[in-house]
Structure 1
Amino acid sequence: MSSTHRKIRQKESLRGGILQAARKIAISEGWQSVTIRKIADEIDYTPPIVYEHFANKEAVFYELAIEGFNILRSLLEAQTHEDPSQRLVNYAMAHWQFANEHTELYKLMYGIETIPSLALERPQELLAIGELIKSTIKSLAPSLQEKEVKELFFQWMCIVNGFVTMALIMQDKNKEQDEWEPEHFLERANRRFIKSLQ
């Protein structure tokens, strides 16, 4: 391996380590506690080394948010049920699955603990998620105008993200109660939303 390739691999490895360190700190202390200095301490480097890869902590957050949207997009694209009603329910459940498996990323992406400084133009990863959901809503009610589809998409996102956020907040308080089955609540809320379109 040439020295150039070795340097590229080392740079990529260090960049990945910085992102991993930020997530580790967020898991144990929350996103508000993530700082460039703490990241540097976690990877045994000095802050200037971190700044060589990211302009500030918001840039770290942004890249992690993009990573999260890519994972979520993959989960949604795997939902290929022919019935658009079931597909929309599956999209909601995929959000719940993602939030449970990648809680710290979900909180970052949707501003539960901090708001990622997303670019003025929404990233393609986020736009692709929106298009999947909007096209499914349109399949459920083909006569809808574009403006109506956008409004319903916003309502659906409010239902799903609002629900997931509240469920995450309440999870620890309710985990010992047998009746606490948030995924069932989310499914029923989605079926009510779908019924309102018919």
Structure 2
Amino acid sequence: MGSKERILRLKDETRAKILDAALNIAKMEGWQALSMRKIAEQIEYTAPIIYEYFANKEGILLELTRKGYRILTKHIIDARERYEKNEDKMEAMWIAYWNFAFTHKEFYRLMYGVDMVRCSNSSCIPETDNLYEILAEVIAALFTKKPISEDIICLKYNTYWSVIHGLVSINLIHLNWRTTDALNQQILKDAIKVITLSINS
């Protein structure tokens, strides 16, 4: 390996260390506690070196938001590929979304601003469009009796998302103390089923 390749590899490794450190701080102390100084301390670098890779904390949050969407999208695609019927695909994809929210809580909180300030640039990243398109394709395939338009698909997507994100958020901030995991799963599946049935009713 030449010197140029070694330098590029070291830069990639340092960038990855910075992102891993930021995520680790969020897991231990919450996103509100994140600072460039804390990241530098955790990877035993000086703060100015961090600024060579990211202009500010917002840049780190944006990169982690994009990473979160990439992980979520992969889970949703994997779930979709396990089924043939569109109704089954839809349920599996939203259950994968639910599972991601609790397996990767810090990513989900950052991506959707649950009990924190959301990354200000996260609504304009291509990963969000990609996730929408993957889900919208299956939503469109569910329509067998009605003429459809992009507006209708968008409406149904937001109906699914609003209900499921609402349930996720309630549980992430521990407001839904009267439910169990089993009950939450049943509520989730019932909600998905009702919305799916409404498409061709």
Q: Which residue of 1 aligns with 2:185?
A: 183
More contact order relative to length (CA 8 Å, sep ≥ 6): 1
| 1:139 paired to 2:141 | yes
Q: Which residue of 1 aligns with 2:71?
A: 71
- In structure 2, the CA distance between the partners of 1:179 and 1:105, relative to structure 1 (3 Å rule), is closer
Matching residue within 129, 145, 148 for 1:127: 129
Q: Which residue of 2 aligns with 1:151?
A: 155
The total of aligned residue pairs comes to: 195
| 1:73-111 deviation line (CA, Å, top 9, x unaligned) | 111111122211111111110011111211100110111
Matches within 5 A, 1:8-27: 8-27=8-27
CA distance in 1, matches of 2:181, 2:162: 24
Q: Which residue of 2 aligns with 1:51?
A: 51
- The alignment yields a C-alpha RMSD, in angstroms, of 1.9
| 1:35-86 deviation line (CA, Å, top 9, x unaligned) | 1111111111111100000011111011001111111111111112221111
CA distance in 2, matches of 1:29, 1:36: 14
| 1:163 paired to 2:167 | yes
Matching residue within 188, 191, 197 for 1:195: 197
- In structure 2, the CA distance between the partners of 1:92 and 1:49, relative to structure 1 (3 Å rule), is same
Unaligned segments of structure 1, at least 5 residues: none
Residue type at the aligned position of 1:181: L
Unaligned segments of structure 2, at least 5 residues: none
CA distance in 1, matches of 2:175, 2:43: 32
The percentage of counterpart residues that share the same residue type is: 32
| 1:121-173 deviation line (CA, Å, top 9, x unaligned) | x3222111101111211111152222111111111111121111112222895
CA distance in 1, matches of 2:45, 2:137: 46
Matches within 5 A, 1:27-38: 27-38=27-38
